[in-house]
């Protein structure tokens, strides 16, 4: 795709999606949501896993507030916008698209930027990353899926605290609150994210699909319904390549499991 404010490149089996507005700390405007959705759709047709990252020193400082201010001035009555929010459509394509997505987080991961990150399946932050939800201080509310995704990651109490007080979390605090899964040294987030994406790409497409599509839905179900749905998902994950992989393991031809690693 054209290399504009959202970029898309391929590195073997990995798609690299960049938020490319570094002069504005990668602040997001409405057209960029659509472009993110288009990029992830294109990535899913060619790659086996994807990494989303911010070009420059920041992942994303959130919404372009000047655009929102101007939109309010042009339409002070704030007529109801019919149809789904473009960000909801785009970020759902990340969370429930064809391939797993890793977010590489540096610098500001604020507001809508955090909402983008929350839609990824795994998040890697370097030590420069900081996280916040300052919408209340700006007179607005999260609107790109954060009240659903972020709340389910960190819980209602923590998200309420962040929104009401403007509290900023460091990378270490974010990993402690389950907001990110890995913390690395400054400048190391993208490389670590690529490594994780490569590991994901080595799985069968059916297993990755079962994990990315099944777990979040099972989490929404009751206990009994979750077990029933797990049975359906588990059976759908079995593919023609399953037999070969199981045989390699039984006959000790497969690589040993990686040793456990810490979050940092």
Q: Give whole-number Cα distances, 63 to 24, 26, 92, 160, in Å.
A: 10, 9, 18, 19
CB 60, CB 19: distance < 8 Å? yes
Question: How far apart (Å, rounded) are the C-alpha atoms in residues 118 and 91?
Answer: 9
Which residues fall within 8 angstroms of residue 231, CB to CB, at 6 or more apart?
Answer: none
Residue 167 tokens, joined:
């509290």
The tokens describing 251, both together, are: 């006959």
In 3D, which of 208, 78, 56 has the Cα closest to residue 140?
78
Q: Which residue is associated with the tokens 């059976």?
A: 235
Decide: residue 203, CB within 10 A, 0-12 exposed, 13-18 middle, 19+ buried. Answer: middle
d(CA 49, CA 13): 7
Q: Which residues are catalytic?
A: 115, 135
Count the Cβ atoms, other than its own, within 10 Å of residue 6: 26
Per DSSP, the chain holds a count of helices (H) and strands (E) of 11, 9
Q: What is the distance between the alpha carbons of residues 50 and 196, in angstroms, rounded to a whole number?
A: 10
């Amino acid at each position: 795709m054209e290399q504009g404010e959202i970029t898309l490149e391929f590195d073997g089996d990995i798609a690299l999606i960049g938020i490319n507005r570094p002069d504005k700390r990668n602040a997001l405007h409405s057209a960029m949501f659509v472009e993110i959705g288009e990029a992830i759709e294109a990535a899913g047709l060619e790659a086996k896993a994807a990494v989303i990252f911010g070009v420059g020193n920041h992942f994303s400082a959130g919404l372009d507030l000047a655009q929102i201010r101007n939109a309010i001035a042009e339409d002070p009555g704030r007529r109801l916008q019919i149809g789904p929010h473009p960000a909801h459509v785009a970020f759902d394509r990340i969370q429930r698209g064809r391939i797993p997505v890793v977010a590489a987080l540096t610098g500001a991961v604020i507001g809508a930027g955090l909402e983008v990150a929350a839609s990824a399946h795994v998040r890697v932050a370097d030590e420069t990353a900081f996280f916040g939800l300052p919408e209340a201080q700006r007179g607005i509310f999260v609107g790109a899926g954060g009240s659903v995704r972020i709340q389910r990651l960190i819980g209602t109490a923590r998200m309420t605290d962040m929104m009401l007080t403007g509290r900023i979390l460091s990378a270490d605090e974010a990993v402690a609150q389950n907001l990110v899964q890995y913390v690395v040294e400054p400048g190391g987030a993208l490389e670590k994210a690529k490594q994780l994406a490569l590991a994901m790409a080595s799985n069968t497409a059916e297993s990755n699909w079962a994990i990315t599509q099944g777990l979040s839905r099972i989490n929404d179900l009751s206990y009994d319904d979750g077990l029933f749905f797990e049975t359906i998902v588990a059976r759908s994950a079995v593919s023609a390549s399953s037999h070969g992989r199981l045989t390699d393991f039984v006959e000790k031809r497969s690589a040993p499991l990686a040793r456990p690693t810490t979050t940092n």
